[in-house]
Amino acid sequence: MGIDEKVEPIYKEVLDRNPGEVEFHQAVREVLESLGPVLVKHPEFADHKIIERICEPERQIIFRVPWVDDKGNVQINRGFRVEFNSALGPYKGGMRFHPSVYLGIIKFLGFEQIFKNALTGLPIGGGKGGSDFDPKGKSDAEVMRFCQSFMTELYRHIGEHTDVPAGDIGVGGREIGYLFGQYKRITNRWEAGVLTGKGLDWGGSLVRTEATGYGATFFVDEMLKVRNDSFEGKTCVVSGSGNVSIYTMEKIAQLGGKTVACSDSNGYIYDEKGIDIELVKQIKEIERRRIKVYANTYKHAKYISGGNIWEVPCQVAMPSATQNEINGKDAKELVKNGCIAVGEGANMPTTPEGVKVFLDANIAYGPGKAANAGGVATSALEMQQNACRDSWTFDYTEKRLQDIMRNIHSTCYETAEEYGAPGNYVTGANVAGFIKVANAMVAFGVI
Ligand code: GLU
């Protein structure tokens, strides 16, 4: 995997213009490595400088977020919203609240979101936001005051036809509630379509909570089908224990597989009988505690503090925690232990060295921008329901999600074949997502 010589100078320019943003560089490089053959078939993209334009966000907003903690101390965080590309629709993408957040993380996420959203086939552009605020250990009142302060700046930049934020790491139903409440109060508009991931009583969509995990599992199921295989009887490892991980494990169980390990940033749980998903929901969604308490309920389960979950043998691995959680060594270990499929629920969870190991081993590897697109796709379905003031049933919405994931899979599969890389979903996803956005940008002229 190298960058084509026509594309190389564009990558160099990205490095020069965005110093120190290593995750952004990584995400750009991965896409640009796929684009050489696209310029051969589509010289108009080079003439219109589409790659150069796509790598430069349309707008980047950085703001101060002051708030008062429970002890009466003033705290200051930094807020971000990167409105990356609106060729296909309003900017769309989540917000991440995590201490590791800085511009480079938001830009990598926003950049990936452009192509992911294009792959859904729905009218959504790409954007991402967040803050270095750490919700861990904060009271509900502190989270509320932070969200209110965050929205007091953000509201002027967003809207149902402009930019539609949602959740990501550290932003779930509770945060979306506080953010929506403050938006409504400041603007005096009950504008459901301005945020997605809303509560079911106030404009949310059924299946949105489950969508990223269910969607990633549907995607892996499609990859397995191509190889005349299925989840039936498979041993799986799913990292993380947040929203994506929980609903990945749930869908794996429904499709006949068994998840034996999940994790948080402190360690992992190994349960050879299969992870009790209801218990994980109780621990994480209701009690907001660490995953190690799982072993208090089940004495046969092991908690490995500080352990590396990828050492657990499995046939299907679904990284669902965070970026760069699988390195080259982990990938080799997975392949050596008999892993035949990897579906990324998280964004960019595998390092470039790890991706190379999976591709060289010819296992079914579904990159995040294809495999985890079900979350944002269901956000777009939430927007559809909001636009016609409707709400769909669970079964209907899940069916729509499954159809979307099947389409994404076949688009990536066929595009990879067309571009001479059969079975390579990285090429398929990058090329198919890029062409859709590029065609729209050409149509709009130089803007
Ligand atoms: N944060 C999710 C993602 O990475 C979902 C974004 C959304 O629903 O807008 O795609």
pLDDT more than 70, % of the chain: 100
Partners of residue 74 on adjacent β-strands: 68
Relative to the CA of 167, which ligand 1 atom is closest? 1
* Span 100-118, average pLDDT: 98
* Span 126-150, average pLDDT: 98
Partners of residue 96 on adjacent β-strands: 130
How far does the centroid of ligand 1 lie from the alpha carbon of residue 376, in Å? 5
Choose one of 113, 119, 124, 195 to mutate for the ligand 1 pocket test, by most ligand atoms within 8 angstroms of C-beta: 113
Q: What are φ and ψ of residue 416, in 5° steps? A: -60, -45
Tokens 């807020």 sit on residue? 79
Q: Are the folds of 1-56+424-447 and 211-362 the same?
A: no
Relative to the CA of 109, which ligand 1 atom is closest? 4
The pLDDT value given to residue 287: 96
Choose one of 91, 163, 168 to mutate for the ligand 1 pocket test, by most ligand atoms within 8 angstroms of C-beta: 168
Choose one of 376, 383, 385 to mutate for the ligand 1 pocket test, by most ligand atoms within 8 angstroms of C-beta: 376
Active site residue 12: no
Q: Closest Cα to atom 5, ligand 1: which residue?
A: 376
**Left if phi > 0, otherwise alpha if psi is -120 to 50, otherwise beta: which for 188?**
left
The string of pLDDT tens digits covering residues 289-310 is 999 999 999 999 999 999 999 9
SS percent in the chain: helix, strand, coil, step 5: 50, 15, 35
How far does the centroid of ligand 1 lie from the alpha carbon of residue 167, in Å? 6
The string of pLDDT tens digits covering residues 144-183 is 999 999 999 999 999 999 999 999 999 999 999 999 999 9
| Residue 17: its H or E element | helix 8-17
Choose one of 162, 212, 378 to mutate for the ligand 1 pocket test, by most ligand atoms within 8 angstroms of C-beta: 212
Relative to the CA of 164, which ligand 1 atom is closest? 9
Which residues are within 8 A (CB) of 305 and not within 5 positions of it... i.e. 6 or more apart?
Answer: 266, 267, 292
Q: Are 230 and 256 in contact (CB under 8 A)?
A: yes
Domain boundaries, the chain: 1-56+424-447, 59-190, 211-362
* Span 241-261, average pLDDT: 98
User: Could you say which DSSP state residue 159 is in?
Assistant: B
Residue 55, CA distances (Å) to 13, 24, 196, 434, 446 in order: 10, 10, 26, 11, 15
* Closest-CA residue to 323 (of 120, 102, 156, 141): 102
SS3 162: coil
Neighbours of 446 (CB within 10 A): 8
Q: Is the Cα torsion angle 387, 388, 393, 396 positive or negative in sign?
A: negative
Give the β-pairing of 91-97 and 302-305: unpaired
Output the ligand 1 site: residues, CB below 6 A.
92-94, 166, 168, 196, 347, 375-376, 379
Relative to the CA of 92, which ligand 1 atom is closest? 9
How far does the centroid of ligand 1 lie from the alpha carbon of residue 405, in Å? 15
The string of pLDDT tens digits covering residues 324-362 is 999 999 999 999 999 999 999 999 999 999 999 999 999
Give the separation between CA 135 and CA 96, rounded to whole angstroms.
10
pLDDT(1) > 80: no
The pLDDT value given to residue 2: 87
Partners of residue 138 on adjacent β-strands: none
* Closest-CA residue to 75 (of 136, 149, 176): 149
pLDDT(100) > 80: yes
How far does the centroid of ligand 1 lie from the alpha carbon of residue 446, in Å? 28
Q: Closest Cα to atom 8, ligand 1: which residue?
A: 376
Q: Closest Cα to atom 10, ligand 1: which residue?
A: 376
Tokens 């495999």 sit on residue? 371
Q: Are 310 and 286 in contact (CB under 8 A)?
A: no
Rg of the chain over Cα atoms, rounded to whole angstroms, equals 21
Pick the CATH number of 59-190 from 3.40.50.10860, 3.40.50.450, 2.70.70.10, 1.10.3720.10: 3.40.50.10860
Q: Is the Cα torsion angle 358, 359, 365, 369 positive or negative in sign?
A: positive
CATH number of 211-362: 3.40.50.720
Relative to the CA of 124, which ligand 1 atom is closest? 9
Q: In what order do the strands lie in the sheet with 74-85?
A: 59-68, 74-85, 126-131, 91-97, 163-167
* Closest-CA residue to 95 (of 24, 197, 3): 197
Tokens 């956000």 sit on residue? 379
Instruction: Give one DSSP letter per residue of 350-364, joined into a string.
Output: B-HHHHHHHHHTT-E
The pLDDT value given to residue 45: 98
The string of pLDDT tens digits covering residues 369-404 is 999 999 999 999 999 999 999 999 999 999 999 999
pLDDT(222) > 80: yes
Q: What are φ and ψ of residue 90, in 5° steps? A: -60, 150
How far does the centroid of ligand 1 lie from the alpha carbon of residue 144, in Å? 21
* Span 187-214, average pLDDT: 98
pLDDT(323) > 90: yes
**Three-point CA angle 6, 55, 44, nearest 5°:** 50
The string of pLDDT tens digits covering residues 30-85 is 999 999 999 999 999 999 999 999 999 999 999 999 999 999 999 999 999 999 99
SS3 126: strand
What is the CATH class of 1-56+424-447?
mainly alpha
Q: Are 262 and 276 in contact (CB under 8 A)?
A: no
How far does the centroid of ligand 1 lie from the alpha carbon of residue 173, in Å? 13
The pLDDT value given to residue 126: 98
How far does the centroid of ligand 1 lie from the alpha carbon of residue 13, in Å? 28
Give the separation between CA 366 and CA 221, rounded to whole angstroms.
11
Relative to the CA of 376, which ligand 1 atom is closest? 8
Relative to the CA of 117, which ligand 1 atom is closest? 10
Q: Closest Cα to atom 9, ligand 1: which residue?
A: 93
Average of per-residue pLDDT values in the chain: 98
* Span 216-225, average pLDDT: 98
User: Could you say which DSSP state residue 49 is in?
Assistant: T
Number of H helices, E strands in the chain: 18, 12
Give the β-pairing of 258-264 and 267-270: antiparallel
Q: Are 406 and 150 in contact (CB under 8 A)?
A: no
How far does the centroid of ligand 1 lie from the alpha carbon of residue 215, in Å? 12
Tokens 């991706």 sit on residue? 355
The pLDDT value given to residue 332: 98
Q: Which residue of the set 92, 107, 116, 128 is catalytic?
A: 128
